[in-house]
Every structure is written in C-alpha cells, then in structure tokens.
Structure 1
Amino acid sequence: MSQLLVYQSLWAAERRTPGVPEPSYDEIFDTVKAAGFDGLSVDLGALPLPAAEAVIPQFARTGLRGGVTAFARSIEDIRPSIAFAKAIGAPFVVVVGQVMPVTIAGMIPVIRAWLDIAGAEGMPLQFETHRGCITNDLYIALQLLDAIPEMRMACDLSHYVVDRELYLPLSPDIAAQFDRVLQRCDSFQGRVASGQQIQLPLHFPLTQRWLDLFTGWWRDGFRHWRARHGADEDCVFLCELGPREYAMTGADGLEFSDRWVEAQQLRALAQTLWSETA
C-alpha cells in the first residue's frame, strides 16, 4: 500500500541565529530521526556538492531516506547530482534548472536533454515549481507541461503564489491553472506563502486563509497522485521552511516563529490529508 513519506530539509535545519552555533550533521540527522521524519533532503544550491558528500555516511548511520534538489547550471551539470542521489538512495532528483532560455521553444530542448540524461542514468527527474529557474512562472510551467507530456513536477506552489502576486479568493481561472500543475506533481513541499511573502509564520492570524489555500492544494495534489500511481509507490512530502531571509524576522534579526516546531506541524497536517484521501 502507498505511504506518505515526510522528509525534513537539511537547509531548513540551519539556524542562522546571531550568536548561536550551527548544529553538527550528527545532531541534525539524529534530531530528524528521533522526531519521526522518514527522510532528509539535501539542497545542492545551499550546500555545494563537495560539502554535501560529507553527509553521505549519515544516511546509512541513521537509516533516513535521502532526497536531493539539484541546481543544474548546464546540461551536463545534472550528472553529479544524479550520482549523489544514488549514493544516498534518493528515489528521484528535484531540478531547479539554472539554464533559462527566454522562449518556450528554447526551453523545450533543455528539459528534454535533462530527461534524456536521467533516463540513461535510471533516475527520475521532477522539475520544481520554483522562481529564478527554467520553471520560474506559472504560465511558463503550464506551457512546458503541454509541450512535454513526460515532464513531472515537484510541487512548491509558494513560489507561484508570490510570482503571480495572488489575492484571495482565487478566480476560477487561476484555480484551474494551479490544478493543472497539481495533476502533474509527483512530490510536494510544505511551505505557506502569500502574494507578498514567500514564507509565512503559521501561528499568525493572517496566515490562516493562506494555510487554508495550501491545505486544499495539498489535499487535491494527494488525490491526483493516488489516481496516477500504483499501490507499491510512495509519495514524498518535504517540509522546507527555510532560514532567514526566507523566514520573516524582526529588527533584531530573530525569526518570528520556530521553524522546527512548524515543520512538525506541517508533517502532521500532511499525514492527516493523506489519510483523508485514501
């Protein structure tokens, strides 16, 4: 039977708090494991590959499953990320493609070239709904999905909420466009945004209506995922609450919320939604 596997992000485990030392990799992996997360994902944009290789033994030591986000700056740049993914047992590589042609016609061969390499390497790719990359915009993503039927997405819709500067309630047309993306998403990421902020503290009263929006998207995304996948496949939900400057801070540089507590809240929410869509 399919399971929901909830990961924590290594990047999200960074404290970046003035005067507070960063935890060791041993401490991060042990804390994530003890909290009951299924895996830990390595963002190769935040941690360069040579440094990331130092965490490879931690996966075997703790039994945590691996995840990888690759920031490929050329066509061939995807290969080292795939090799790293294999080394930590990641089921797929999430791509934030840094090759960014201006036109859709220029983007299509780039996406297909990455897919060809991944196919030869036996590693599935998912293209993240992310700003500042080849899938920068909701409208671009929709055109790419139409042009490349085999293209799969990693769903972090916080980027498109900010990029489109959304206001609530969503119009039926905008809601339908987001649903088209959700129908092609093979994994999901936990972060709540508004039309002006990429990462909202979950306990702020004004966050609630945005949390309701994302909760509906994740529920719909899980339903779409279950309709496409077999009973022997597992779905990944990544809690990726980034440190400052993703996290909102006061004038003192301290964050308004506890990201570790919120990651566990998002995990519980995702597990509830997964059960509801069974």
Structure 2
Amino acid sequence: MATNNYHLNDGSSLAPRLELQQSWWAMIGLGENGREWTMEEKFEQIAAAGFTGISATMPAEQDYAEWHRLLDKYQFTFSTVAFPSSKSDMRDILDTVKQFGRVQYINSQVMDSFVVGDEAVQLLQDLLEASNEAGIPHFIETHRGRITQDLLRTTDYVRALPQLQLIIDLSHYIVAGELDGGVGSRAEAEFNVLLERTAGIHARISNGEQVQIDIGKSGKHQMVENFKRWWRKGMQNWYANAVPGDILSFVPELGPPGYAITRLDENGREIETTDRWQQALLLKQIAEELWQEVVAEAANKNAVR
C-alpha cells in the first residue's frame, strides 16, 4: 500500500489499472420479486457482474467478522466513505479503519457546506496531514452539502492545496448549477481544473434539474456524452502520471430513493421508475470502454515516439 495519501498503489509491478467497485449504499433496496437481496446475495450479484470491490461506510464493529468473511470469499477490495469535520474526527476514523484492517482508501465527504475560504483550506490540509501520517490513501469527494458544495470554491481548494486529490462526481455540480446540455466553456474550464486531480470517479449522471437520471437501456441520453467526456479526461489525466501498481477507482453510485426518481403504483406504494441495478451495470460498461480507449491511446502515442 502507498506510504502517503496522494495516490493509491498496491506495491506491485502491475500496469496501472482500473478498479471497478460497487457502492454498497447503491445496493439498498435492490432485489427480486419484491424481496431485497440478503447481504451475501448482494455480494454474489456484485461479483457475478464483474466488480472487484465494494465502496461503503465503515461497518459496525459487531459486523466486522461477516464483512471479512464475505470480502475474503469474493476476493473483494474495500474502500470506505467518511464524513469528517475536524482533524480529531479524522484521527478517530483512521483508528477505526486500522481496526477493521481491510481499507484500500478513504473517500471523505468533508462536513460541512458552511465551512468556506481559508477555514476550509486549513481543514482540508489538516485532514490530509492526518491520513498521510497514518499512511492511508485519502481522497476528497466533490459533493453537494459538504465543504465541496459548489464548483468554484472547490477549484479554489485545488489551487491552494497541491496535495489534494479528488473523487470526481460532477453530477453534483451539474444539478447544483443547473448546467444542462449547454454546459458552457466557463464551467468546462473549471471542470478541467478538478479533473487534473482525479484519484477516482463516482458515476452518476445528472441534468440541470435532477441529480440522478435514467439514461435508458443503451445510454443514449443527451447528458451521457458530457459525462463520458469528463470521465475520459479524468482517466487520461490520471493515467499520464501513473506508475506500476497504481489503481484508479471507478464506482457506480446510483442512490436509492430519494436520489432515485419514484412514483406511486396503483396500491399507493412508492416505486422507482428505473432499474437501478441495470443502470449501474451500464455505467460499469461505459467505464470499461473508456478505460480501453485511454490505454490504447497512450500506447499509440508511446509507439509513435
């Protein structure tokens, strides 16, 4: 594992690679015939779909043994989502991570959206220093309702903190800024600032009004090409600086209601309007295709030199 928190590396001589993890939060409510899958059935489905890991909040201590059993059985990696608001919080999180012992990296949604300016920069620096001291890779997610509430303040953080690496989820900025198909050059330029610091990608597609939209069975929604462009750019930036053993994480993160759009059925029950699991598999497929393009493009450039 990496000895600093600036990138994710497993210490091997393997070529830089894409790690496809599934969000555990995104598995809430999924199942068949009106019954939610059990924990192990969810692991089975994730493995059968070709994912190699899970992204989740830290399990309760009494559940450690079952999580370890299933992670071992399916040979999954595990990354965790944290919500620190101080350096003290971060140290507590790091203690829990060390106790669990299986965490590949920490993805922080830093609290909260009312922390701005120099105070925010200092907090981010403190959190990164704490995880760096612990030797655990730690990245900050671009997320609404957090310290990364909006696009412009987050690009300010990136410019102020050279060590800051991001879990990219641009769905939050598209919906927060009401940026639909006409994203515009100014937003694109700010997105590029963030994409230069790509350490991982959370996949969800939004439009200017809804944070999680249905992209259809074949991904032909008008916003898909925008997100594919951004994900490809993030992958390219990451790959250009990668060394053997480096890992880029890609996580489809399609939330349950109320992220998922719902309607009432004839019996007054709230049901989702889309097949969230199939949508996740489509996002995984898109990621695999983009990654192949990025690797092939880099190989062609090297061949020409």
Q: TM-score, normalised by structure 1?
A: 0.91
Q: Which residue of 2 aligns with 1:258?
A: 275
Q: Which residue of 1 aligns with 2:244?
A: 231
What CA distance in whole angstroms lies between the structure 2 residues aligned with 1:166 and 1:206?
19
What CA distance in whole angstroms lies between the structure 2 residues aligned with 1:218 and 1:201?
18
> What secondary structure sits across from 2:144 in the alignment?
coil
Q: Which residue of 1 aligns with 2:43?
A: 29
Count matched residues. Answer: 275
Q: Tell me by how many angstroms 1:260 deviates.
A: 1.0
- Over 3 Å counting, the alpha-carbon distance change for 1:61 and 1:85 in structure 2 is farther
Q: Which residue of 1 aligns with 2:191?
A: 178
Q: Can you list the C-alpha shifts for 1:106-150, whole angstroms capped at 9, x where unaligned?
A: 111111111111011111211000011111111110111111111
- Over 3 Å counting, the alpha-carbon distance change for 1:30 and 1:83 in structure 2 is farther
CA contact (8 A) 1:95 1:127 kept: yes
What CA distance in whole angstroms lies between the structure 1 residues aligned with 2:219 and 2:43?
33
RMSD across aligned C-alpha pairs, in angstroms?
Answer: 2.3
What CA distance in whole angstroms lies between the structure 2 residues aligned with 1:51 and 1:165?
43
CA contact (8 A) 1:42 1:52 kept: no
Which of 69, 85, 90 pairs up with 1:57?
69
- Over 3 Å counting, the alpha-carbon distance change for 1:228 and 1:52 in structure 2 is farther
- Over 3 Å counting, the alpha-carbon distance change for 1:88 and 1:159 in structure 2 is farther
What CA distance in whole angstroms lies between the structure 1 residues aligned with 2:255 and 2:30?
10
Q: Tell me by how many angstroms 1:221 deviates.
A: 0.8
CA contact (8 A) 2:219 2:282 kept: no
**Bigger Cα Rg:** 2
* Pairing 1:1-278 to 2, within 5 Å after superposition: 1-15=15-29, 20-44=34-58, 49-50=60-61, 53=64, 55-86=67-98, 87=100, 89-203=102-216, 208-252=221-265, 253-278=270-295
> What secondary structure sits across from 1:93 in the alignment?
strand
Q: Tell me by how many angstroms 1:205 deviates.
A: 9.7
Consecutive unaligned residues in structure 1, runs of 5 or more? none
Amino acid at match of 1:181: L
- Over 3 Å counting, the alpha-carbon distance change for 1:49 and 1:130 in structure 2 is farther
Q: Can you list the C-alpha shifts for 1:44-68, whole angstroms capped at 9, x where unaligned?
A: 5xxx645764524321222111111
- Over 3 Å counting, the alpha-carbon distance change for 1:52 and 1:263 in structure 2 is farther
Identity of aligned residues (%): 28
More moved, 227-236 vs 116-125: 227-236
Q: Can you list the C-alpha shifts for 1:214-249, whole angstroms capped at 9, x where unaligned?
A: 011111111111112213212110011111111111
Q: Tell me by how many angstroms 1:200 deviates.
A: 0.4
> What secondary structure sits across from 1:91 in the alignment?
strand
Q: Can you list the C-alpha shifts for 1:177-197, whole angstroms capped at 9, x where unaligned?
A: 111111111100111001110
Amino acid at match of 2:275: D
